[in-house]
Amino acid sequence: MPEPTPVHDAVEVISAKRDRHELSDSQIDWVVDAYTRGVVADEQMSALAMAILLNGMDRREIARWTAAMIASGERMDFSGLSRPTADKHSTGGVGDKITLPLAPLVAACGVAVPQLSGRGLGHTGGTLDKLESIPGWRAALSNDEMFAQLESLGAVICAAGDGLAPADKKLYALRDVTGTVEAIPLIASSIMSKKIAEGTGALVLDVKVGTGAFMKDVDAARELAETMVTLGQDAGVHTVALLTDMSTPLGLTAGNAIEVQESVDVLAGGGPADVVELTLALAREMLAGAGRGDVDPADKLADGSAMDAWHRMIQAQGGDSNAALPTAREQHVVAAPTSGVLTRLDAMAVGLAAWRLGAGRARKEDPVQAGAGVVWHARPGDAVTAGQPLFTLLTDDEHRFERALASLEGGYDIGTEGSSYDATPLVIDRIG
């Protein structure tokens, strides 16, 4: 039996958006489905993505595009769990290990966390890469395994299955190589199609802004946050967003195993103050969205409940949470050139250095080194003394040090002793 004549064609849809017209619901449904099935070619979808980047979409178009992405695959349902669900998504940064302590912390407060995470690309680290530095830990779980772990333990961090928004997986890879990653309608629909399809009851978005973030400008970050919050709310998901600073990297480490260790330090009641602050801020938003705003997550850090939840979560996915973490074979110490006050530490410079040391990847298929990364021994506002360690660079391949050092050149400033330092608030704004 012959294929039915399509109701639209790719050139028609591309031309409409090129000429700044709104796409109809029918056009959006058709083009997303046709691209997923291979009827619309990559070069045609590239042209449409560029037209969307240049000419934008209104609220109805973005909502319909997101719905079409969701409809391309399966939807998960956690309504059968005995506890409410909440999830968090970060738009990515440097030293952003927040998911690791956050998921067990929220679980310890009585809310289930179905955290579908990804791998790093470029200067931004990936949650799965960090966790895979733990001996034995596995990222791939079936839906049944995920549901069972959520019911018994309350927290899962794992890879998304191929059945969740396959249209997004295909389109994301295309945007990455066609200069259209920055299109806010496509960013918002990419993130929210997966999160809505995931089936969580509440969602908190950590939208990073600053030199080390995808969004460099506060106004653009706020536009993205507002778009995503609207998409979530329209889909019946309690959604809020925090705009958070990513001009300075989070914590004191950027890498894989070293960020796991820093996360464990937070769960043990220590860790860098900024990591603790953001973890608690996001936990409180997740708990409030799930109807458990009466629980103070700080208490669960203090009494060891969050650490217990961490051990159970890691062990349930085959990991040895008590095993020694991998360490790099080589290290290089960068000393402070002068005495004074560290007034700036650029997140992008640190992220690029960690990437060049082997902690990240240039292509999705590239391997990463578990022990590679950057440790910084001072944060902006701290006094430093000439000759003291400022950075420790870690890698298995000594030849990587040269390019990593080049990344750090100009990436920090040391002012004279007594120099003032005006700290940017970690949480810049709340939307939703």
Cβ neighbour number for residue 7 with a 10 Å cutoff: 10
What's the CA gap between 177 and 242, in Å, rounded? 29
Considering the entire predicted model, what is its pTM? Answer: 0.93
Tell me what pLDDT residue 26 has.
96
Both 186 and 233 in one domain: the answer is yes
Query: Which pLDDT score is estimated for 37?
Result: 94
pLDDT number for residue 190 = 92
Q: 308 is written with which tokens?
A: 């217990």
pLDDT at res. 100: 97
User: Tokens representing 320?
Assistant: 């040895």
My answer on whether 190 and 97 are in the same domain is: yes
CATH of the domain at 385: 3.90.1170.30
Rounded CA separation 193/197 (Å): 6
Residue after which a domain boundary falls, among 264, 291, 316:
316
- Tell me, yes or no, whether 104 and 41 share the same domain: no
Same domain, 208 and 157: yes
Same domain, 148 and 98: yes
**What is the per-residue pLDDT for 157?**
96
pLDDT for residue 422: 77
Domain residues for 97? 86-316
Asked whether residue 43 falls in the same domain as residue 109, the answer is no
Residues 307 and 368 in one domain: no
Where helices occur in 177-217 by DSSP H, the ranges are 184-198
Which of 282, 316, 350 terminates a domain? The answer is 316
- 153 plus 252 within the same structural domain: yes
Quick check: is 255 in a domain?
yes
CATH of residue 30:
1.20.970.10
Q: Do 36 and 94 lie in a common domain?
A: no
Mean pLDDT, each 10-residue run in order, the chain (432 residues): 70 97 97 95 96 96 96 91 96 94 98 89 83 96 94 94 86 86 91 92 96 92 96 94 97 98 97 98 98 96 97 97 97 97 96 94 82 97 96 97 97 86 90 93
Q: Is residue 2 part of a domain?
A: no
Q: Give the per-residue pLDDT at 342.
A: 96
Please tell me whether residues 238 and 271 are part of one structural domain: yes
Return the HEC string of 34-91.
HHHHCCCCHHHHHHHHHHHHHHCCCHHHHHHHHHHHHHCCCCCCCCCCCCCEEEEEEC
Total domains in the chain come to: 3
238 assigned to some structural domain: yes
pLDDT at site 24: 97
Residues 255 and 154 in one domain: yes
Q: What pLDDT score does 172 carry?
A: 85
Q: Do residue 171 and residue 128 come from a single domain?
A: yes
Q: Which residues are catalytic?
A: 89, 168, 175, 190, 194
CATH number of 161's domain: 3.40.1030.10
Question: Of 252, 250, 260, 254, nearest to 313 (Cα)?
Answer: 260
CA 391 to chain centre: 24
Please check whether residue 149 lies inside any domain of the structure.
Answer: yes
